[in-house]
Structure 1
Amino acid sequence: MTTVTTRVVEYPADGLTMVGHLALPAGAGRRPAVLIGPEGVGLSDVERRRADALAERGYVALAFDLHGGRYLGDPEEMLARCMPLLADPGRMRGIGHAALDVLRAEPRTDPDRIAAVGFGTGGAIALELGRDGAGLRAIGTLNALTTGRPGEAARIRCPVWAGVGSEDPIMGPAQRDEFTAEMQAAGVDWRLVVYGGALHAFYHPPVDHPTVPGVGHHPRHAQRAWRDLVGLLAECLPLAE
């Protein structure tokens, strides 16, 4: 197995001290890099492991923080923080750009080859980075079919891949239609994969705390969605032979 080096990185954003997880691949040269946004509950070992897995493949990976080092396992507390955040593109962009600046400043990062992927709230932040014109090579989101302010999707200059469960009550058919109409009208190179029978956050392992209604793990589709995200990165951020 490829040796991966990890470290905690602290940086300011949204009035908080964020605590991210940086994973570096073996070697000393610059590598393509991936920004990883977590679910609304916040950064956990799930995203840290995803960062490590991408570093094993040869990417620099930063799993960023949403809540100043906190994990919000109480659904009411999580919604009380995330709903206002999701309604405020400026705040989302601030959180995303702060993390992107950290990733770009890492000496191992090739600053011209960065992708952003995210899950739930983290995916919405990845999309807002694109709508703000960030220089990304790809955007990948799961359960984040959020639409932006009119006309701003035209600033997205990279392919967008989105995945959602067919039975997700939070990101249902209406959200799918609005999202794809926005992407199409803006001329974005977009794809949407609907995973049959899957609920919200189907790709997230089961948790030992209460969740919002409509959440459920789907092991087979979770594996497929991860392969699809890795495929997006292989297409848009190819690793040198």
Structure 2
Amino acid sequence: MTTITARAVAYPADGLTMIGHLALPAGVGRRPAVLIGPEGMGLSDVERRRADALAELGYVALAFDLHGGRYVGDPEEMLARCLPLLADPDRMRGIGHAALDVLRAEPRTDPDRIAAIGYGTGGAVGLELGRAGVDLRAIGTVNATTTGRPGEAARIRCPVWAGVGSEDPIMPPAQREAFTAEMQAAGVDWRLTVYGGALHAFHHPPVNHPTVPGVGHHPQHAQRAWRDVLDLLTECLPVSEDPGHAPGKRSSARH
């Protein structure tokens, strides 16, 4: 298996000291890079493993933080922090820009080849970076079909892929329709994948703490959503072929 290196990185954002997880591929040259946003509970080993998996494929990957180094497992506390955040595009953009600055500052990062993927609140942050006009190669979200301020989606300069569970009560059909209408009106190259029977956060392995209603793991769709994310990156942010980074290896990466 390809040797990668990973480390925690501290940086300021949203009045907090964030602790992200930066994973670097083998080698010394510049590589395309991926920003990874976590669910509303915050950065966990799930996102760290995804960053490591992307590094194994040849990407520089930064899984960013939402809560100042904390994982917020209590649903009420999580909602008390995330709902105001989701209602404030400027705060989300601030969190995203701070993480993006860290990623761009990494010498291994090709600053002209960056994509953003995210889950839940972290996906909403990625979309807001697009609405802010950040030059990204792709934006991919899972259970984050959030809409933005009127007209700002026209600033999105890259393809957008979104995945959502058909039974997700937090991102219901009306929200999905509003999101796709926003993307279409803005002329964005967008795609939406609906995973039949899946709830909110279907991609996330089971947790050992209470969750909000409507959340549940779906193992098959979790694997499919990861493959769809990899397909998006393969299309929009391909890793140059070199020893150990052949494109055919992408779909087998663990996450």
Alignment of 1:84-123 (within 5 A): 84-123=84-123
Q: Following TM superposition, by how much is the alpha carbon of 1:157 offset from its aligned partner in structure 2, in angstroms?
A: 0.2
Deviations 1:85-139 (A, max 9, x none): 0000000000000000000010000000000000000000000000000010000
| Letter aligned with residue 99 of structure 2 | A
Q: Following TM superposition, by how much is the alpha carbon of 1:140 offset from its aligned partner in structure 2, in angstroms?
A: 0.2
Q: Following TM superposition, by how much is the alpha carbon of 1:203 offset from its aligned partner in structure 2, in angstroms?
A: 0.4
Give the secondary structure class of the aligned counterpart of 2:115.
Answer: strand
Q: Following TM superposition, by how much is the alpha carbon of 1:215 offset from its aligned partner in structure 2, in angstroms?
A: 0.4
Give the secondary structure class of the aligned counterpart of 2:207.
Answer: coil
Give the secondary structure class of the aligned counterpart of 2:134.
Answer: coil
Q: Which residue of 2 aligns with 1:153?
A: 153
Q: Which residue of 1 aligns with 2:196?
A: 196
| Letter aligned with residue 23 of structure 1 | A
Q: Which residue of 1 aligns with 2:23?
A: 23
Q: Following TM superposition, by how much is the alpha carbon of 1:204 offset from its aligned partner in structure 2, in angstroms?
A: 0.2
In structure 1, stretches of 5+ residues that fail to align are: none
| Letter aligned with residue 230 of structure 1 | L
Alignment of 1:76-91 (within 5 A): 76-91=76-91
Runs of 4+ displaced beyond 6 Å: none
Alignment of 1:210 with 2:210, yes or no, is yes
Distance in 2, matches of 1:12 and 1:239, equals 30
Alignment of 1:240 with 2:240, yes or no, is yes
Q: Following TM superposition, by how much is the alpha carbon of 1:198 offset from its aligned partner in structure 2, in angstroms?
A: 0.4
Q: Following TM superposition, by how much is the alpha carbon of 1:153 offset from its aligned partner in structure 2, in angstroms?
A: 0.1
Alignment of 1:74 with 2:88, yes or no, is no
Alignment of 1:42 with 2:42, yes or no, is yes
Q: Following TM superposition, by how much is the alpha carbon of 1:19 offset from its aligned partner in structure 2, in angstroms?
A: 0.2
Q: Which residue of 2 aligns with 1:172?
A: 172
Q: How many residues align?
A: 241
Give the secondary structure class of the aligned counterpart of 1:52.
Answer: helix
Q: Following TM superposition, by how much is the alpha carbon of 1:200 offset from its aligned partner in structure 2, in angstroms?
A: 0.4
Distance in 1, matches of 2:196 and 2:41, equals 25
Give the secondary structure class of the aligned counterpart of 2:67.
Answer: coil
Distance in 1, matches of 2:130 and 2:10, equals 24
Distance in 1, matches of 2:117 and 2:227, equals 13
Alignment of 1:144 with 2:144, yes or no, is yes
Distance in 1, matches of 2:101 and 2:83, equals 25
Distance in 2, matches of 1:22 and 1:239, equals 18
| Letter aligned with residue 181 of structure 1 | A
Q: Following TM superposition, by how much is the alpha carbon of 1:167 offset from its aligned partner in structure 2, in angstroms?
A: 0.5
Alignment of 1:124 with 2:121, yes or no, is no
